[in-house]
Amino acid sequence: MPIAQGLALALSIGLFSPMLLAQMDIDIGVSGVDKILENNIRLFLSLEQQKKHPLMSEGRLRRLHKKAPKEITRALQPYGYYRPLIKTELVQTSDSHWRASYSVDQGPPLLIGEFDFAISEEMAEDPAFRQLSDKLPLHKGEIFNHLEYETIKTELARLAAERGYVDARFTEHRVAIDLVAYEARITLHYEGGRRYRFGPVRLEQDLLEPQLLQRYIPFEHDSPYRYDALIDLQQALNDSNYFQTVEVAPGQPQTDIAEIPVTVALTPRKPHRYSLGFGYGTDTGARTSFSWEVPRVNRHGHRINSEAKFSEIGYSLSASYRVPVLNPRTDQMIYNIAQVNEKTDVSDSTVRTIGVNRNRNRGPWRESLSLTYQEEKFVVGSDRGVSTLLMPGVNWSRSWGNSSIFTFDGLRFDIGLRGAREDFISDVSFLQLQGGIKAINRLGQRNRLITRGRIGTTWTEDFHQLPSSVRFFAGGAQSVRGFAYQSLGPRDEGGEVIGGNHLMVGSIEFEHSLNDQWGAAAFYDVGKAMDSFADKLERGAGLGIRWRSPVGPVRIDLATAISRDDHPWRLHISIGPDL
């Protein structure tokens, strides 16, 4: 054979022989154990890891198969099984196909004969460590699981670091496996040493008065160290909207005084913030908004917010001056001024207001005390006039749930009271109470049940002197669907809707998620504005499409007024958070 041909043949064999060997097809079956044990067995099996190796051969296959019993035994030991019975089989089903089978009887579990767990005295008095000790996954007489033993060690070290036990260490940590007595004896002793405390907090900024920022700090100097308090501080400063970036970091522990100093690096936001928005709703038509915010007017943390909104039914212009008080995270005084014009099918009004609000948290409740001076020029049905009101008011609200934008389980409740006296600046006396609730409950993995209700009542001796802004109306995308915006209420002699003294609205809705972005809904609404709670309520029902858009949930509903003889249909579109 010529030399060139020999080299070509050798090269061909070298190139193609791995390809021929790689065609070996190997099935591996593991039976007799649950999925968790099976997955761990496959991780330990050399044959499982190398079954697609390009140089796999029959000899290599048989060597790896022979190693399997020892590998399976090692795979079961972390879960407490040290005496398994393993049956193996290797069968060639065709020229290139093999099947390796492993029938596993895991055998009796290895139980914990002794469990000696101890932590230092100060740790034992710490509620977080007490909770960890009460929920240990291992106890005497239970199956020994080496993974859970390592988890205990990891959790102890993690919690010690988060709670300020800088010098914590394991004085003893061992597991003795006695295969004769067939039991595990565990010793786990953890010494915490001194618990360090918070040292001074250094605020790296020249933006706001230090006294204001100190009120954001949720811990005192020399209080026990907690890492979650640092997370809380970072979240509070981020939510303040004064800063572009917030970096909260513990410093080097001071061993001589057992303190951990804290450094807070703050980068201010830009001095002005502008935003422009566009939208559409069937109640308002096309709309646009423009806002301007000054997040920091001075070193005391005062801020200005202003907004202009325009839609097909009117406009609103508003500005507010906000002053943080007491706890700046939750408490503030708000001085505001606004003008709102709204022209609907049932009313036309222009409202000018100036007022002050005192907002604060009372436990889980949000409280708002207000005093508002209002002038309103209104036309509603046959009632028209110019109204002047000085209205004190109070509102309480509370929300449950991990998100107000979109949630599978959540609840929101609010109740408010406002009024005016004719002998004190106002030209009509009234007292108005209203409240609402909205609940969202998960049904299975992809369904939600959404219920909501709102009720209100007004006490007054001269309803026709009330401006339209303090009368009740119903109907629309956020009220009773199937009816036009503000079209449900008592009517005057000319058949025009003039609003009512009372309001009652309720809704139930079933929503099914089709995927992560789209959903479908069916709903039933009932309600009306009325002069008496004994009046008959209107009813609407329909179907809808839901889209979780980047700007919030979008709802498109097709509803019919089922309480009307002609059952008219109406399309409703709305955008907004769930709660």
CATH of the domain at 288: 2.40.160.50
Instruction: Give the contacts of 536 (CB within 8 A, at least 6 positions apart).
Output: 528, 563
Q: How confident is the model at residue 15 (pLDDT cuts 50, 70, 90)?
A: very low
361 is a domain residue: yes
- Pairwise pLDDT comparison (118 vs 551), residue with the higher score: 118
Q: Which CATH number fits the domain that encloses residue 222?
A: 3.10.20.310
pLDDT reported for residue 17: 44
386 is a domain residue: yes
Helices 58-76 and 35-44: crossing angle, nearest 10°?
130
286 is a domain residue: yes
223 is a domain residue: yes
The Cα 10–Cα 455 span in angstroms is 91
Same domain, yes or no, for 340 and 463? yes
Same domain, yes or no, for 159 and 216? no
What tokens does 300 get? 């005391």
Instruction: Please state the φ and ψ torsions of residue 509, each to the nearest 5 degrees.
Output: -140, 135
Instruction: Give the contacts of 4 (CB within 8 A, at least 6 positions apart).
Output: none
Q: Give the residue-averaged pLDDT of 304-311.
A: 96
The amino acid at residue 131 is: Q
Same domain, yes or no, for 165 and 83? no
pLDDT reported for residue 55: 87
Residue bearing tokens 């939600």: 448
What pLDDT, in 10s, does the model give residues 28-57?
999 999 999 999 999 999 999 998 888 889
CA 131 to chain centre: 25
Same domain, yes or no, for 359 and 508? yes
What tokens does 511 get? 């929503």
The last residue of a domain, from among 88, 105, 122? 105
Dihedral sign for Cα atoms in the order 154, 156, 161, 166 = negative
176 is a domain residue: yes
What is the distance in angstroms between the CA of the first residue and the CA of the last residue of the chain?
86
- H-helix or E-strand containing 561? none
The last residue of a domain, from among 71, 88, 105? 105
3-class SS at 310?
A: strand
In a 13 Å sphere around the CA of 215, the CA atoms on its Cβ side amount to: 15
What tokens does 558 get? 């097709």
- Pairwise pLDDT comparison (402 vs 108), residue with the higher score: 108
pLDDT reported for residue 12: 46
Q: Compute the C-alpha angle 268/270/271, nearest 5°.
A: 105
Same domain, yes or no, for 298 and 362? yes
Same domain, yes or no, for 380 and 502? yes
Q: How confident is the model at residue 113 (pLDDT cuts 50, 70, 90)?
A: very high
27 is a domain residue: yes
Q: How confident is the model at residue 497 (pLDDT cuts 50, 70, 90)?
A: very high
**Cβ(339)–Cβ(314) under 8 Å?**
no
pLDDT(19) > 60: no
3-class SS at 77?
A: helix
The Cα 192–Cα 353 span in angstroms is 61
- Name the nearest CA neighbour of 507 among 520, 521, 525: 525
- H-helix or E-strand containing 130? helix 127-134
The Cα 230–Cα 220 span in angstroms is 12
pLDDT reported for residue 422: 93
3 is a domain residue: no
**Percent of all residues in the chain with a pLDDT value above 70, rounded to a whole number:** 96
Q: Which residues of 69-97 are buried (b: 16+ CB within 10 A; e: fewer)?
A: bebbbebbbbbbbbebebeeebeeeeeee
Show the domain range for 410.
273-575
The Cα 82–Cα 75 span in angstroms is 10
Residue bearing tokens 């393993």: 86
Instruction: Please state the φ and ψ torsions of residue 149, each to the nearest 5 degrees.
Output: -60, -45
pLDDT(479) > 50: yes
What pLDDT, in 10s, does the model give residues 171-204?
999 999 999 999 999 999 999 999 999 999 999 9
φ/ψ region of 425 (left if φ > 0, alpha if ψ in -120 to 50, else beta) reads left
- H-helix or E-strand containing 288? strand 285-294
Instruction: Give the contacts of 374 (CB within 8 A, at least 6 positions apart).
Output: 351, 352, 353, 355, 387, 388, 389, 390, 391, 467, 469
What number of other Cβ atoms are within 10 A of residue 174's Cβ? 11
**β-strands 502-513, 25-31 pairing:** unpaired
What tokens does 40 get? 């761990």
Same domain, yes or no, for 434 and 491? yes
Q: How confident is the model at residue 14 (pLDDT cuts 50, 70, 90)?
A: very low
Same domain, yes or no, for 203 and 126? no
pLDDT reported for residue 279: 84
pLDDT(352) > 50: yes
Same domain, yes or no, for 410 and 526? yes
The Cα 219–Cα 261 span in angstroms is 12
What pLDDT, in 10s, does the model give residues 526-573?
999 999 999 999 999 999 999 998 878 999 999 999 999 999 999 999
**β-strands 303-311, 285-294 pairing:** antiparallel
pLDDT(305) > 60: yes
Residue bearing tokens 């002050």: 356
Same domain, yes or no, for 440 and 489? yes
Q: How confident is the model at residue 278 (pLDDT cuts 50, 70, 90)?
A: confident
Give how many domains the chain has, as a whole number. 4
Q: Give the residue-averaged pLDDT of 248-253.
A: 95
Q: Compute the C-alpha angle 446/450/453, nearest 5°.
A: 175
3-class SS at 126?
A: coil
The last residue of a domain, from among 54, 78, 105? 105
What number of other Cβ atoms are within 10 A of residue 436's Cβ? 17
The Cα 124–Cα 120 span in angstroms is 6
What tokens does 282 get? 């069937």
pLDDT reported for residue 23: 63
φ/ψ region of 482 (left if φ > 0, alpha if ψ in -120 to 50, else beta) reads left
Same domain, yes or no, for 118 and 50? no
Same domain, yes or no, for 413 and 548? yes
120 is a domain residue: yes
**Cβ(514)–Cβ(503) under 8 Å?**
no
- Name the nearest CA neighbour of 239 among 319, 330, 357: 330
